[in-house]
Amino acid sequence: MKLSTGFWQTYKESPADAEIVSHKLMMRAGLLHKTAAGIYTYLPMMVRILRKIENIIRNEHDKNNCFEITMSVVTPAELWKESGRWESFGPQILKAKDRAERDLCLSPTNEESVVDVFRKNIKSYKQLPLNLYQINTKFRDEIRPRFGVMRGREFTMKDAYSFHIDKKCLDTEYDKMYSIYENICRRMGLEFIAVEADAGAMAQGEAKTHEFQVLANSGEDKVIKCNNCTYSANVERAKTTASLTKRTVTKNELIIVDTPEKQTISEVCEFLKIQEEGSLKSLIYKGISGETEDFYLCLLLGNDSMNEVKFKNISGHEIVTPATDNELLKLGLLKGFIGPVGSLDKNLKVIVDSSVDLSLDYVVGANQKDKHFKNFIFSRDCKLEFTHNDLRESKEGDDCLVCKKSKSIKEIRGIEVGHIFQLGDKYTKSMNVTVLDQNGKAVNPIMGCYGIGVSRMAAAAIEQHHDDKGIIWPISIAPYEIYFASICKSEEYVDLSNEIFVELREKGFEVLYDDRNAGAGFKFKDAELIGCPFILVFGERDFKESGVLEIRTRKTGDSIKVSKNEIFSKLEKMIMEERKKFEL
């Protein structure tokens, strides 16, 4: 692109709603135009970046026997009604009616559509396995769109879907997709970790699923990782053991003690001079499924917190939420003093976290104002029916369940750029899809699905590759490989720089030519902000004095002088060397 006649503009300030560095830099570097909350127009530079990301993704899929299709963005309600997700998907799905009052939606994901394509085309196990993918627009009416394209409402996703006759074949495909995802991240220069994830509502039961998390402090996801072995998981899913001080079993009598106005765990424990892990936290939760509502008393160690995803999975409810103050009042419970002893509502279901030792004594709320019980032992003092289950959120300093190493668990933050799932027969069953197996019997094939946030990946790359001057694109996804800043005023030299630009382009270099009528400082600032890997500077004065141009490396700030004749060979060598770093 020749900037004097091109379409690109940068900004000194970022908009007020930009909180994280990638959002700020994307706006300042003129990559995006905000159309509405969470909805963006991709400007020319962004389009080039996205094409590069898409082509890496495409290349990795194509060479691994995945076939690209493009499904419609608008899908009819009938398909979603068949799978049952027209109602259950929730408010993220944007619905509309056409002129004939037929229900439609904007695709938030495409399992239903791909299953429909599959069932009309595939009839026999002989045509399997099959992996179909697309790179397309998705719409999810996110409750809190933020961070620019990191969590947009309209965004670009690569979604792949595979079909298999048996689990063994699905496992092989899953491993293949896992390596494809690793390759894609590597080729984009992203530092990442693949972690076990929560299967949520996408599949039934304990489905195998991993997330690809790009490491960044600004990441919305908390990732748990062992320092001693390879265990890593999204905190939603992570299972680790609380690292607890050994205590001996005492059989002291259950006594009630005064805890005047001490409501929080830390206040109570400080007042009673005990460690927080010697107390129990009593949390009241509400679970909602359709019309039914159930209330739960969840008990956890005082210094632990509740993992709502685990609780949702255990309780099986569609929605779980802490009870409101009003609901506590209705249940006759006193906020700050709730506990498992006393006359509690018969319908209250009780879940005790697995790290609570049923034979040890704890301090618990006494269901009376300003009172707690001391020496509460579950196996002795609890009159309620309860289940013992894993509810706690893993945290830094826990013991690893896999390698058993004590205190080896670390917490890090990540940006989920990809997610792979084993779906099983959830969609083929609900949408009544069969193929004939080896014995001529009609069976439901099983599926895997594999998603990458293409636009989110561009933002994640900036989170990892920037400095205070701007973006530093990995060459594999840079909008252009060379930013050619011409600092020439006289006609003779302007003509010469035009010639250099044309020759660079003809020789196949990807070059952004800054021939605008502006000063050197202005051009260098823009060059650093947009972050192309190499900046070629043609300064009229330098050239007159010593016959040289300058090649700067954006990442290191290094600069070399080259004669006009050397430009092409030198740039080619530098670009080749840089590209190599992102090859597998």
Instruction: Tell me which residues touch ligand ATP (CB under 6 A).
Output: 109, 140, 142, 151-152, 155, 157, 416-419, 451, 453, 455-456
We find the least distance from the C-beta atom of residue 137 to ligand ATP, in angstroms, to be: 11
Q: Which is nearer to ligand ATP, 22 or 408 (CB)?
A: 22
Closer by beta carbon to ligand ATP, 222 or else 419: 419
CB 401 within 8 A of CB 392: no
Nearest CB to ligand ATP, comparing residues 22 and 240:
22
Task: Report DSSP state, residue 392.
Answer: B
Q: Least CB distance from residue 417 to ligand ATP, whole Å? A: 5
**Residue facing ligand ATP at closest CB distance:** 453
Residue 487 — φ and ψ, nearest 5°? -110, 60
- The helix or strand, by DSSP H or E, that contains position 376, with its residue range, turns out to be strand 371-377
Please tell me the distance from the alpha carbon of residue 342 to that of residue 572, in angstroms, as a whole number: 79
CB 23 → ligand ATP: shortest distance, Å? 12
Task: Give CA–CA dist 176/178, Å, rounded.
Answer: 5
Torsion sign, CA atoms 164, 165, 167, 172: negative
For ligand ATP, the closer of residues 55 and 368 by Cβ is 55
Residue closer to ligand ATP by CB (options 185, 226) is 185
DSSP secondary structure of 113-164: HHHHHHHHH--BGGG-SEEEEEEEEEE---SS-BTGGGB-SEEEEEEEEEEE
Which residues have a Cβ under 8 Å from the Cβ of 77 and sit 6 or more positions away? 86, 95, 102, 103, 104, 105
Cβ at position 150, least distance to ligand ATP in Å: 6
CB of 198 to ligand ATP, least distance (A): 9
C-alpha angle 428-431-437 in degrees, rounded to nearest 5: 40
Residue placing its CB nearer to ligand ATP in the complex, 157 or 320:
157
The smaller minimum CB distance to ligand ATP, of residues 278 and 418, is found at 418
Instruction: Identify any residues that bridge with 162 across adjacent strands, giving them in sequence order.
Output: 131, 448
Phi, psi of 471 (to 5 degrees): -80, 150
Least CB distance from residue 195 to ligand ATP, whole Å? 12
What is the smallest separation between the CB atom of 287 and ligand ATP, expressed in angstroms?
21
**Using CA atoms, how far apart are residues 342 and 346, in angstroms rounded to an integer?**
11
